[in-house]
Structure 1
């Protein structure tokens, strides 16, 4: 082997080591660049008068979404911590329940169904139409393209009259009440496209003369 061939081989070996180091550095740099993104969301309120004159007022304040890289580190995974607070005031001695939650939707995919049959509504006006699935495991949503799920913030444990364990997603109130949630985790997996979420507060109202429901919607936000 002549000197020129030896020099060429050494040059190739040096280049290979340098390329490997650059690739490794690239992976570490990508991980370091991933940072949480805090999204402040606007406050909101709604006031409705029921048929018997009962006035229902719902307010939402301090809502934020903290979007972070998921542990899955793939385009199919999303991870977000949501926080917020809501208050309810009802006249005429009304009582009922307060149920906060989020509708989480995944973008339609080629070949998938559209509209409500595909699991996703074209608007956010109807919570029952927009949500075709209910998350069974709190904090971990499996959602495919073209689907939407209803994630309920509360998971209150209580015993029924026979002592068996029950779970409730709504907090009772009488006259007025409030619910606050802090860093509630929404871990989304299986979404192959754009994902979006929107909060809601659903309030049931019971008086001597009427039973009704009032819903306050939050602003939609992207979760990647």
Structure 2
């Protein structure tokens, strides 16, 4: 092969390598959605009166999407899962309220977080129906808050109409399903995490107990 042909071959090879590199670092490749399968979990706890309660989190996953604002300060997640509760014994009534704790540059492995916002869900148990809404939080470093999966209109403890993050049931079991529930986070310049939970309140003739089962934390970037 002549020197001219060898030089042309090297230039062609370098051009092909550069094209591949540009493809890997193109905006489309860098901003692809990330699917995160999550393990869920199951716990069974016995209340002081001997009533056993089983809580499960199944079919849990998250689809993490690039920010529509295209900045590190915004994240968007579509979360899916199913919360189940089974009461092994007599109870007057119980409540189930699933959600997600979201934290910005804070350790949420302990499950801290208050407040609320909403996503889309359908539920089973006493009553039927669904809500369709979206929610977003603005958090700074060291802050955590909660996305409630449900937002149901009903009377609060004082009889006033309000939006409640769960529902009451008198059967032995109930469940909540949600698919592509939107969790939006703004204002967090550092790393962010989210973690699902299933809250259950059980009322028997001996008293009232509150339980909470936590899912595995996952990164929002």
Q: TM-score range by the shorter chain?
A: 0.7 to 0.9
- Equivalent residue, structure 2, for 1:167: 163
Query: Which one has a larger percent strand, Structure 1 or Structure 2?
Result: 2
Q: CA deviation at 1:123?
A: 5.4
With structure 1 as the length reference, what TM-score do the two structures score? 0.74
Q: Distance in 2 between matches of 1:124 and 1:206?
A: 28
Larger Cα-atom Rg: 1
Q: CA deviation at 1:172?
A: 1.5
Q: Distance in 1 between matches of 2:108 and 2:102?
A: 13
Q: Distance in 2 between matches of 1:147 and 1:39?
A: 23
- Equivalent residue, structure 1, for 2:152: 156
Q: Does 1:53 align with 2:38?
A: no
- Equivalent residue, structure 2, for 1:34: 31
- Equivalent residue, structure 2, for 1:97: 95
What residue ranges of structure 2 are gaps of 5+ in the alignment? 1-21, 119-133
Q: Distance in 1 between matches of 2:74 and 2:108?
A: 24
- Equivalent residue, structure 2, for 1:81: 78
- Equivalent residue, structure 2, for 1:134: 115
Q: Check conservation: 2:99, 2:149, Cα contact below 8 A.
A: yes
Q: Check conservation: 2:102, 2:147, Cα contact below 8 A.
A: yes
Q: CA deviation at 1:86?
A: 1.2
Q: Does 1:219 align with 2:216?
A: yes
Q: Distance in 2 between matches of 1:76 and 1:93?
A: 48
Instruction: Report the 3-state secondary structure (helix = DSSP H, G, I; strand = E; otherwise coil) of the residue aligned with 1:53.
Output: coil
Q: Check conservation: 1:139, 1:184, Cα contact below 8 A.
A: no
Q: Cα gap change, 1:135/1:211 in structure 2, threshold over 3 Å: closer, same or farther?
A: closer
Q: Check conservation: 2:138, 2:186, Cα contact below 8 A.
A: yes
- Equivalent residue, structure 2, for 1:182: 179
Superposition CA RMSD, Å? 2.5
Instruction: Report the 3-state secondary structure (helix = DSSP H, G, I; strand = E; otherwise coil) of the residue aligned with 1:75.
Output: coil
With structure 2 as the length reference, what TM-score do the two structures score? 0.75
What residue ranges of structure 1 are gaps of 5+ in the alignment? 1-24, 108-119
- Range 169-178 or range 96-105, more displaced: 169-178
Q: Distance in 2 between matches of 1:32 and 1:87?
A: 37
Aligned pair count?
182
Q: Distance in 1 between matches of 2:169 and 2:78?
A: 26
Write out the 4+ residue segments of structure 1 that deviate beyond 4 Å after TM superposition.
none
Q: Check conservation: 1:152, 1:169, Cα contact below 8 A.
A: yes
Q: Can you list the C-alpha shifts for 1:114-173, whole angstroms capped at 9, x where unaligned?
A: xxxxxx5x5533x4xx21x4135752111111100111111112367xx97421101222
